[in-house]
Amino acid sequence: MLSQSRAGHACARSAPLHRRAAARSHGNVLALPQMTASEPGQSTKSELKDLLLRHEVRADKRLGQHFLVDRGILRSIAAAAGLTGDDTVIEVGPGTGLLTTELRASAGEVIAVELDPRMVEVLRESLHGADNVTVVEGDILQLPPGGLLERHSRRRASAYKVVANLPYYITSPVLRHFLHAERPPRLMVVMVQEEVGRAIVAKPGDMSLLSVSVQAFSHPTVVRRVSAQSFYPHPKVDSLVLKLEALESPLIDQPEVTPFLDFVAAGFHSPRKQLHNSFGHGLSVPRQQIETLLQKGDIDTTRRPETLTVEEWARLWRIYRDMPSPEGQPC
């Protein structure tokens, strides 16, 4: 797992084993050597430690690096993605390549985006001979999914899946980066901090800006819980593996994503207050307009933000969007 930190494309290259210098927004591409008789990726914890030692590399806590070393869990993550030879996978933060090895065994191709140049060097060894893997050195948040596919998919794929062992501190930005993209994935399988995972799959009564931002575009479910002991080094908390299945018809059209989420954030301005009061603090509109908004949306003004369904948030947004805007009101 490792850190990743918005637009630009990545440029691909197939050549002898070296990195190509490229525009900052394009990323760098690692060409892997040809397949040898030994198949990579059967690493255990001790073998992983040996690999890192050979490269004189240690996990960087600033980048949220905690490597998943339980082979059974790695396989269950790959299985949850339901991969076939027709699938293109974008993997975020391949780290040492353990999960990448499981993905490439079933997928048609894997585009692995790695931020840490030290780990790119490790991947030269751990993915030696992986001829259906393209490693892109770069910041995933600066690489639009469509650009990655156009420049790096050897299969010229238009659809894709995302599989990632996400660094905890960039979970929300990465989810938004893909789910709110012009070309979102059909499916995401991601490892996240347990508390964050519970928030993502929350039901009305425990909703938050995060849960709304995910559930307006996908259906999230918990695949499994993962103990902190399954990582090297151990994080301080346990994790959840989530599956996010894209909605056939997202509740919000892509051009309206940002104003919709700004609107929801205004509603959660004071999450423990009643909705009319929370909106009163979060929206720069007269109180009467807030009451009219809730009345038209058939929402009791005494309800709290966490009790609304994602469908109710979408309905309120459309009503608010179409209401006459007082002078100075943000759209």
pLDDT of residue 27: 52
Question: Using CA atoms, how far apart are residues 116 and 113, in angstroms rounded to an integer?
Answer: 10
CA-wise closest residue to 138 among 14, 20, 15, 57: 20
Per the CB < 8 A criterion, the answer to whether 225 and 242 are in contact is no
Residue 259 one-letter amino acid = P
CA-wise closest residue to 141 among 103, 108, 169: 169
pLDDT of residue 28: 57
What is the side-by-side strand order in the sheet with 161-165?
28-30, 133-137, 109-114, 88-92, 161-165, 187-193, 239-246, 218-226
Name the DSSP letter for residue 199.
H
Per the CB < 8 A criterion, the answer to whether 148 and 154 are in contact is no
Phi and psi at residue 57, in whole multiples of 5°? -120, 140
Question: Using CA atoms, how far apart are residues 214 and 244, in angstroms rounded to an integer?
Answer: 8
Token duo for residue 329 = 């009101």
- In three-state secondary structure terms, 307 is helix
91-121 confidence digits (pLDDT tens): 999 999 999 999 999 999 999 999 999 999 9
42-60 confidence digits (pLDDT tens): 336 887 887 777 877 887 7
pLDDT of residue 30: 53
pLDDT of residue 168: 84
Q: pTM for the complete prediction?
A: 0.83
pLDDT of residue 44: 66
pLDDT of residue 129: 86
Residue carrying structure tokens 């469509």: 146
Going along the chain from its start, the domains and CATH numbers come out as 28-246 (3.40.50.150), 254-322 (1.10.8.100)
pLDDT of residue 324: 83
Mean pLDDT by 10 residues, the chain (331 residues): 37 32 44 36 66 78 81 95 98 94 97 93 89 95 96 94 92 97 97 96 97 98 95 92 97 96 96 91 91 96 96 98 69 46
